[in-house]
Structure 1
């Protein structure tokens, strides 16, 4: 992209080459340091298309001799806080690269928003924690990244007769956009409530999912395997939602919830297991989700379905 050496580029969105560079840098950092980096590249790309507002996110890239060695992303998902996360190539650390990115990014987000700023850091990343401490970060919360175990991934789908026959998933359409936004506010606009962890009953997804061409082509809701939204139905009434994506054969589940009035009946478990069936059918080699460390009921539900904790992401308030 840019032909400059040793420079910082600020971008309102990343093109395909930028995305590839950031992913490659992330892979190097993961390989050498074994840390969890939450960059939200695909979510940000989808949100840009949905909101048509480039100011929601800003990207900062540090190039040395035309090679990307540093990255910092600013995310504003429309809540009460702005999230920042990033990385520096292991061979280029202790040169002040991330501090330079941070100071430039700070000036930019302060110009655009007065929202609280949260810095994300892997629980085991000592250098990242040292930097956050140096800028006065205060611990706020933690989030677990969980992965479906190999045994559960390779196992047979659990289809139990009962309420499972009443629950089905369908692809979301543009007509569901307002309902999705409303449910997102219920689930994540305030502290998470208990999700649902009762007896297991599972939908047979071979019969329940209707893959309409109109749904798949709708750019606001579906983007191939990169972002797919499903509405959870009970007797044709919407009771919840869930989103999935598959990137490089890795499946992700997020935005999952059941409306409060329908909780405590096992429906949440049905939605979760049905979604796992979809991801397995799409040949996901690994399946991940993230959950607040304080949401004990949700964690028990996920563990009962075969998920286990693989990483911890800490959030720090930056003053």
Structure 2
């Protein structure tokens, strides 16, 4: 678990690096704030200043890595040290896949990953909603807050829609999750994370057997409609190869702003 001071330092460093490099860094802030987050002490300080951080994010049997180094402390082996420490811990876990991600325009980030054996796996688009007219609500589609009793269905959605095996959900994740009901039956889910004046949608999924019926369109448009008057930014991510999802999001006013490249690492 990260301390409040460490979290402040991490987010301040994120802002500094993003401004300096002109990119976005996918640090999954909502996950870092959880009490259940295992930090592995992957932070490096120099005279009280945070100079490097590496996040380790478990998604079932897959682990994702993303981090950064202070612009004034680069080329000193800081990130290599963090990376080596992370991989030492990861090999102790029952992990099937390890992915490292870098912003698509970060040549240095991608070069580092490739130098450490990374092989390109996939690209993920970061999309932002631009105000537009949304579909008329359908009363047969209902959203309700998730409970611990929904975990089995949440896991099944994770497996069938994202291929995530053995997904685990703590109370914080469940509290941010909405279950999508169609005619009273669970059809899908989405996690809605609110961070200051921004709203991000994750884990948006509808059972494959129920796709193509407009359920996802209705559910997503409802969340966007409610968030539009409260947040300055509404965003979501989508795999570049997921053409159907990309088409849906685009039709509802989401526009690609950035992209993240993921690399598979041997472990």
Q: What TM-score results when the alignment is normalised by the length of structure 1? A: 0.76
The gaps in structure 1 that reach 5 residues or longer are: 1-12, 49-53, 192-217, 223-227
SS of structure 1 residue aligned to 2:92: helix
1:215 alignment counterpart: none
Decide whether the 8 Å contact of 1:58 with 1:73 is kept in 2.
Answer: no
2:27 and 2:206 map into 1 onto residues whose CA distance is 26
1:102 aligns with 2:55: no
> How far off is 1:45 after superposition?
4.0
Residues 104-126 of structure 1, C-alpha deviations (whole Å, 9 max, x = no match): 22212123345332111111001
> How far off is 1:133 after superposition?
2.1
Decide whether the 8 Å contact of 1:121 with 1:128 is kept in 2.
Answer: yes
Residue 231 to residue 249, structure 1, CA distance change in 2 (3 Å)? same
Residue 114 to residue 254, structure 1, CA distance change in 2 (3 Å)? closer
2:168 alignment counterpart: none
- When the two structures are aligned, how many residues end up with a matched partner? 261
Alignment of 1:42-57 (within 5 A): 42-46=30-34, 48=36
1:37 alignment counterpart: 25
C-alpha RMSD over aligned residues = 2.1
2:221 and 2:32 map into 1 onto residues whose CA distance is 26
1:253 alignment counterpart: 201
1:234 and 1:112 map into 2 onto residues whose CA distance is 38
1:58 aligns with 2:6: no
2:232 alignment counterpart: 285
2:74 alignment counterpart: 93
SS of structure 2 residue aligned to 1:94: coil
1:160 alignment counterpart: 136
1:45 and 1:176 map into 2 onto residues whose CA distance is 23
> How far off is 1:64 after superposition?
0.6
Alignment of 1:266-277 (within 5 A): 266-277=214-225
1:298 aligns with 2:245: yes
Decide whether the 8 Å contact of 1:144 with 1:292 is kept in 2.
Answer: yes
Decide whether the 8 Å contact of 1:174 with 1:220 is kept in 2.
Answer: no
SS of structure 2 residue aligned to 1:297: helix
The gaps in structure 2 that reach 5 residues or longer are: 166-170
SS of structure 2 residue aligned to 1:76: strand
SS of structure 2 residue aligned to 1:175: helix
Residues 133-154 of structure 1, C-alpha deviations (whole Å, 9 max, x = no match): 22121111111111112xx1xx
Report which of the two structures shows the higher radius of gyration computed on alpha carbons.
1
Q: Say which of 110, 115, 137 aligns to 1:134.
A: 115
1:69 alignment counterpart: 51
